[in-house]
Amino acid sequence: MFDAIAPTYDRANHFLSLGIDRLWWLRAARTLRPILARPEAVVLDLCCGTGDMTLALDKLRPQPLRATHTSHLTTVSPVIALDFSHNMLALAQPKFAGRNIRAIEADALHLPFADNSIDLVTCAFGFRNLASYPDGLAELYRVLRPTGQIAILDFNQPTGLVGALYSLYFKHLLPRLGRLISRDPAAYNYLPESVARFPRPSRMIELIAATGFINPTWTPYTFGVAGLYRATKA
């Protein structure tokens, strides 16, 4: 499905979110500045899609091979952009040109990395698409170094009046608009369905803690329509 909608993916996302998705990526990336500022930090952007979150992360990384005050050259680890969809990565590659980014096609539930080898794993609007959330969290825990962090940005279903308006748009209007843009009748029916089955923040925090992560938090964005989960490997 994601291979099929890849050509219209960016246009549809920006249109359907009224451009707010760009602000979410930037806000999430800025909260991760302390890790991103470390040249040696190994950063993995999981389910990267066409690479917009990856680019937001890379913009906050030090410039590779920049002379320091000691006149030595600083080596900066590339941001690793990983996705299961070949077509999504193909569209991301032109965006990555000239940047310190390495793209990998792989399965998020079977990451091609050694234990304790990653400092930060981000995932923007892709984690809810995994076949198993506990297995996905366990895989992130495996590859993270001790004190490494996760930052999962994804949708939520708010409550109250905002929730009612959100539900009206998300379940009824958005699928129709998405079908018109992507010409894929299933893709934008899938989106509200995937959000409906995704754990609510309290449950998601329980799953994160049960995996072994410490200090799990959720920060709501835009009245709780989306939010950022963060936690640290003990």
SS3 14: helix
Residue ranges making up the domain that contains 149? 2-233
- For residue 174, what is the domain's CATH number? 3.40.50.150
Question: Comparing 5 with 185, which gets the higher pLDDT?
Answer: 5
Report yes or no: 114 and 139 within 8 Å, Cβ to Cβ. Answer: no
pLDDT category at 128 given cuts 50, 70, 90 is very high
Residue 43's CB is within 10 A of a number of other CB atoms, namely 24
Q: What is the pLDDT of residues 22-34, one digit of tens each?
A: 899 999 999 999 9
Measured distance CA(180)–CA(37) in Å, rounded? 41
Query: pTM of the full predicted structure?
Result: 0.89
Structure tokens at 140: 């992130």
Q: What is the pLDDT of residues 163-216, one digit of tens each?
A: 788 778 777 777 777 777 777 667 677 778 888 899 999 999 999 999 999 999
User: How many domains are contained in the chain?
Assistant: 1
